[in-house]
Structure 1
Amino acid sequence: MIFPLSVDRILVDRFRAGFGRSLVTVPATSGTHIVVGGHDPAGSEDGYPIGLYAAPLPETGAPSTDAPALHWLRTGWPLRAAAFHPTQPLLVLGTGSYDGGYFFEGELVLLDLASGEHRYLFADDCRREVRSLEWADAHTLRLLIAPPDDWEDRAAWSEGHCVDLTYPDWRTVPARSVRHADLTGPRVPASRPDPTPPVAAADQEEPRPGEIRSLTVLPDGDILLTADHVLLERWSAEGDRRWSVPADPDLGGGRIAAVLGDEASAWVEALGPWGGDGGGSFLRVCLADGTELERHTTPGRAALVTTSEGPLLVPMPAGYGEWAWSRFRHGPHAIFRDMPRPPCTCDCSSDDDDDEDCDCHCTCPMCTIDGEDGEVWLTMVDASPTGSATDLAFPAAERCRRRFPWSWEPRETHFGGPGAWVGETDLVMATVRYDGRVGIPKQGFVARRPIDETSTGTPSWVFSIDRTPTALDIDPSTDTVLVALSGGELIALDVTTGMLRARGRVHVRGVPVVPTAVTVTGPGRLLLGTSDARVLVCHLKLT
């Protein structure tokens, strides 16, 4: 389903630099070369995208990024091989990867180029990595597949099984019909194909573009963005980059930026090394030319939040990861997820059934603490009449007021996530709850919660979601809450009632994008940041 959003233009486009983690060029039956490109999913929970493109560029052999995709799908594993049928408009795709433990897993996909329908041919209990494909004739497809695993079999990395699948008419092969018994064949050399390096790559001095983390519109119409590949960039409304503060190995990219009241500089929160549990890093950057004015580090993890008098820091327990962060926009006060105890340091494992009744008194989800000391609170920072707006500091304890538990359901663990104020009395927040399971679908929600002095935090409405929310903003002109989900969907809700107004995917040149940042810029107008380093200028078409 297409979300009712019109993409007026692409303001920032670095998609070419990230195109093609694994790239396979195969000749079509017509003699025209078609390119099948697959790349790593950035921010998506729906697998690996694979696109079919025509008319490759003669200089690079890569498809033009301005050309629409002829077909598009997502697979559970990276692309390894592809082959067009010699006489029919069919294409088979082979995918797979090593799971890091024992197994080589993958799938075989049959794509009908006439109808656009695709079918997964391996049975649900038959996940075999496909290493190469070729048509022996119009009825027989020859596969090289990996052994099921490398348990006591290191040769599995360089050998596989040659298998012939024969059908009278490949257009009628049922989905999920190929079973283990059909995939027996002689053991032959079958080394794993290496992913092709990205084509049309960016300047080698720049890191590979990643997802857009935040978008901020300045009073003059310019845009600040943070992303995995840059700490901070400033772009004009016409799409010209004015300056860039690149990511580096120590700081990583930027998570969020907060413009100071004088509009001459902004603090930016660095993502830091992936998986790091050290302190936080924050840079104040001149908005005129992007020069670094000062740097602030904290001994432990911290998050940047905004208040009416300027940016502040709040403590973030190390080891909790991205789900501890929460961002509330458009409010008079800072809101943060107050976690009073440090993370779990016990020897028990939260996924070990034997520890279900653990009494070690830590705060991991399986070791819940009873009482106020174990509660995660929604805490508000009162404004301060004094202090310099350029100083980045933790607020004094007396300014932090616990309003109510972060989770309105007793004994549930609700993670952090994006949110926005509705006036000065309500919050709209989106997150997922921990339920002891891994994977998707998620159990999550978008909720509106009163935050006035008498409120207990009970939501006035709750809308269920099945993916992790990545961004949220409110269009006051239409009273619409816009929420981006990591699976690639956008949803639009009525801010007063929580009723669904629209949901679906946004397409650019025939390809669904994965929204990771949403910023409303005016009535019915917004900026959309994506997982593939693009910024789109859009307008809503809700009826």
Structure 2
Amino acid sequence: MVVGTGRYDGGYSFEGELLLIHLDSGDVVSVLQYPREVLGVDWRSETALHLVLAPCDDWENPQAHEQGHAVVVARSDWGAVGQGAIGAEELAAPAQPVVQPDRSAQARRVLADLASSAGRQWSVRRRVWAVEGLEDGRVLAALDGVLAESWLPSGDLQWGVGDEEGGRQLVLASDGTSVWTNAERRSRRKGRRWERSAPRVARIAVATGQVLETLSPGVFTVLVAGGRRAVLRPLDGRRKHPERLMMFNLDGPVNGPEVGRFDLFNHPFAVRRASRPYVLVGTDPDEPHRDKWVTALGPDGTLRRLFPHSWVPAEHHFGGPAVEIGQSLVYAGAVHDGHGLQPGGAYIVRRSLDGSVQWQHRTDHPATALDTDGDAVYVAFNSGALTALDAADGSVRWHAELEVDGAPTTGLSLAVAPQGHLLIGTVDGRILECSPRP
């Protein structure tokens, strides 16, 4: 079976894969040498496959979103086609207007009928971006289409607050009875224009799901954990003036210190168990993604540099998830390389607040989330792996591949619950409860 995937990345490229699935074994082979969004695919014969591919990018091509490249690729034995075997030369074809039918309603009907035939009810659940465990055993989550939801220890849904895009972060408020969450607002193309609805940052009562207050930052923001105030970092990199942290308390919003423009690759630094807010800030106002420092926000609203984000002067490190342990930070990231992520190019590192490296763990796959119980650091990777590292020296205690009923999945979010077990939010909408030991 052949499957075409892909989407526009929101700023430049159309990316995706052409997957061959061997039905007898379940093995999957990605056969395109370079990422391409596959708009259409159908078999013309046992040896000929017809493809419609989106342009590589929309650079200087305003028509790219209505165009496609139609080609026929032939192989005598598709079962023997290997990884990356179809190169750019075979896919070269003139661009032409294409109509992209919306098959979502048809797909939903098929899935609903399959579920019904098994005596079950089907509904959409997608990426779980954040999970948090509460002292009473309840679990909070933020996911696509849901700003926040609460699950009882019995496994029943207690309440949920919907949203057109869905929640991305959960930060427990200092009052102990509510949680802050924010909603993504992606730009959507309507004709030749891009439109985006208003940002949403809300504080929700944990007991009832009631929205207690909604902030109006004017731009989409990320939540910065730590301290008694709600601290927001703007993501609107189109502004010419330097960005500032936004701080909200009972007296209203307060402008915080300058932190420079936010870059999605370079500046994510969500620190769990933070005693104070931490952010990554570049030293060059014109290129804030360069020479990033880990900085801490003090009670008086001023930033203090702690240490450079990259401990290797010649390497540029992308940002990633983090957790505070005592007088140190454990954080994950990846090393930039012009040819893409290299073997061993992703890492988890523990550093004292003076910048000294206590240990580092190199890996081939970037981390999506991490947390600690003080004894071990648990890390979820975009490969679907889950690893426990010794918090003292970084050695691997155990390593596992995430599976549910034999089917692989990938963790996007992870939290150590107060009861000691692991909570994992997955790319396919599940919330898993796992033992901290293999």
Aligned-partner Cα distance in 2 for 1:253–1:505: 27
Question: Does the CA contact (< 8 Å) of 1:97 and 1:105 recur in 2?
Answer: yes
SS at match of 2:435: strand
Residue 482 (structure 1) shift: 1.0
Q: Is the 8 A contact 1:278 1:300 kept in 2?
A: no
1:231 to 132, 138, 147: 147
Mapped to 1, the partners of 2:323 and 2:336 lie a distance apart of: 22
Q: Aligned residue for 1:265? A: 178
Counterpart of 1:379 in structure 2 is: 295
- The residue aligned with 2:157 is 241
Are the counterparts in 2 of residues 446 and 464 from structure 1 also a CA contact under 8 Å?
yes
Identify which of 279, 290, 310 aligns with 1:407. 310
Shift in alpha-carbon separation, 1:133–1:318, aligned structure 2, 3 A: same
Structure 2 CA distance for aligned equivalents of residues 210 and 297 of structure 1: 27
CA shift, 1:324, in A, is 1.5
Q: 1:161 to 1:285 in 2, by over 3 A?
A: closer
In the TM superposition, what is the alpha-carbon distance from 1:483 to its structure 2 partner? Answer: 1.0
Counterpart Cα distance in 2 of 1:209 and 1:159 = 33
Q: Classify 1:98/1:224 alpha carbon distance in 2 versus 1 (closer, same or farther; 3 Å).
A: closer
**1:508 matched to 2:415:** no
Q: Is the Cα–Cα contact under 8 Å of residues 366 and 381 in structure 2 kept in the other structure?
A: yes
Q: CA deviation at 1:150?
A: 8.5
Other-structure match for 1:333? 276
Aligned counterparts of 1:277 and 1:320: Cα–Cα separation in 2: 19
Q: State the secondary structure of the residue aligned to 1:518.
A: strand
Stretches of structure 1 that go unaligned for 5 or more consecutive residues are 1-81, 83-92, 136-140, 185-190, 343-361, 369-374, 385-394
1:492 to 369, 388, 396: 388
Letter in 1 for 2:370: L
**Distance in 2 between the 1:128 and 1:321 partners?**
22
Q: 1:410–1:280: structure 2 CA closer, same or farther, 3 Å change rule? A: farther
Structure 1 segment 125-136 matched on structure 2, within 5 A: 131-133=41-43
One-letter amino acid of the counterpart of residue 338, structure 1: V
3-state SS of paired residue (2:417):
strand
- Determine the structure 2 residue equivalent to 1:363: 287
Aligned-partner Cα distance in 2 for 1:193–1:262: 49
Deviations 1:382-410 (A, max 9, x none): 4x4xxxxxxxxxx622xx32222222222
Map residues 84-95 of structure 1 onto 2, 5 A cutoff.
93=2, 95=4
Over aligned residues, Cα RMSD in angstroms? 4.4
Larger RCO, structures 1/2 (Cα 8 Å, 6+ apart): 1
In 2, the alpha carbon distance for the partners of 1:429 and 1:403 equals 14
Distance 1:323 1:512, change over 3 A: farther
407-416 vs 457-466, which deviates more? 407-416
Identity %: 25
Is residue 202–residue 212 contact of structure 2 (8 Å, CA) maintained in 1?
A: yes
> Alpha carbons of 1:419 and 1:134: their partners in 2 closer, same or farther (altered >3 Å)?
same
Q: How many residues align?
A: 375
Confirm or deny: 8 A CA contact 1:425 1:450 kept in the other structure: yes
Asked whether 1:428 is paired with 2:330, we answer: yes
Judged with a 3 Å threshold, the aligned counterparts in structure 2 of structure 1 residues 105 and 210 are, in CA distance, closer, same or farther, namely closer
Asked whether the 8 Å contact 1:490–1:504 carries over to 2, the reply is yes
Change (3 A) 1:338 1:277: farther
User: TM-score of the superposition, structure 1-length normalised?
Assistant: 0.58
Aligned position for 2:129: 213
Distance 1:509 1:331 in 2: 35
Counterpart in the other structure of 2:215: 296
Q: How far apart, in 2, do the equivalents of 1:193 and 1:460 lie?
A: 53
Provide the C-alpha distance between the structure 1 equivalents of 2:344 and 2:102, rounded to a whole number of angstroms.
Answer: 30
What is the CA-CA distance between 1:501 and the residue it aligns to? 2.6
TM-superposed deviation, 1:279: 9.2
2:149 alignment partner AA: E
* Counterpart contact for 2:422–2:435, Cα < 8 Å: yes
CA deviations 1:402-426 (Å, max 9, x no partner) are 222222222543232211122x211
Structure 2 length-normalised TM: 0.70
**8 Å contact kept, 2:132–2:423:** no
Structure 1 residue 443 corresponds to structure 2 residue 354 = no
Higher Cα Rg, which structure = 1
| Cα distance, 1:489 vs structure 2 | 1.9
C-alpha change, 1:118 and 1:317, in structure 2 (3 Å) is same
State the SS of the aligned residue for 1:460. Answer: strand
Q: Does 1:312 align with 2:231?
A: yes
- Deviation of 1:530 after TM superposition, in Å, equals 0.5
Aligned counterparts of 2:360 and 2:201: Cα–Cα separation in 1: 35
Given candidates 91, 98, 111, the residue that maps to 2:22 is: 111
Q: 2:301 aligns with which of 392, 396, 399?
A: 396
